[in-house]
A = this chain, B = another copy of it.
Amino acid sequence: MSLRHALLAALSQGEASGYELAKRFDVGVAEFWSATPQQLYRDLERLEQDGMVSARVVEQSRRPNKRVFSLTAAGREELRAFTRRPAKPPAMRDEFLVQLQAVDLTDPGAAVEAAATRRERARQKLAGYDQLRERMLAGRGETEFYAESSQVGPYLTLMAGRMYEQLNIRWATTVIETLTRRGESAPAADGE
């Protein structure tokens, strides 16, 4: 029961429609909680029924109307209560690591390609995060920012995302180099 909380946390940064939240969750900011659009729509419904968020229809001229959600007092209270409870340990699901675990019984070429894909993805994510960071800092240094801003939370989670992608880049590079070097010296493990 925790996408609900992720949604509340996202809405604590300001109101948004389901579609906008879907983009945030699918693409970028929320590197730490993944969800598909369908989940969002479903859980927003439920949050509304539970009185945690309220929806307001915004009519648009040459676009479909949208329902913009914002936190209610109850929602804010629930979010506060959540932040005081101990957090569950993080859970990861990484198919590429599963594939790599079994690399010794396959063609390492596929793994090298997959690592390159991973690295490229990480670079793009990192670039996105860096832009966001510039916008948040708005010309100030980190120390100034910490003193002035009321957005320390989002900044710290953004830093987590940045560090994570930097790690991905470094690590993927190691994987590529290691497997490539092996492929050269040993003539590849063909068959069993």
Contacts and interface: CB of A to CB of B under 8 A. Distances in A.
A147 B185 contact: yes
B105 A157 contact: no
A6 B106 contact: no
A96 B90 contact: yes
Given A33-B93, A33-B94, A33-B97, A104 B153 contact: yes
A82 to B, nearest CB: 7
Nearest to A108: B152
A179 to B, nearest CB: 7
A171 interface: yes
Given A84-B110, A171-B160, A175-B156, A95 B90 contact: yes
A157 B100 contact: yes
B182 A100 contact: no
Contacts of A90: 92-97
A32 B96 CA distance: 9
Contacts of A157: 97, 100-101
A79 interface: yes
A170 interface: yes
A8 to B, nearest CB: 7
A62 interface: no
Query: Size band of the A side of the interface?
Result: 35 or more
A175 B186 CA distance: 45
A39 interface: no
Interface string A174-186: 1100110110011
Contacts of A179: 152
**Quick one: which of A5, A8, A80, A89 has the most chain B CB within 10 A?**
A89
A46 interface: no
B102 A87 contact: no
Given A80-B106, A103-B156, 15 more contacts: A13-B101, A32-B97, A34-B92, A84-B107, A84-B110, A86-B117, A87-B99, A90-B93, A91-B94, A100-B153, A103-B153, A147-B186, A152-B178, A164-B167, A167-B167
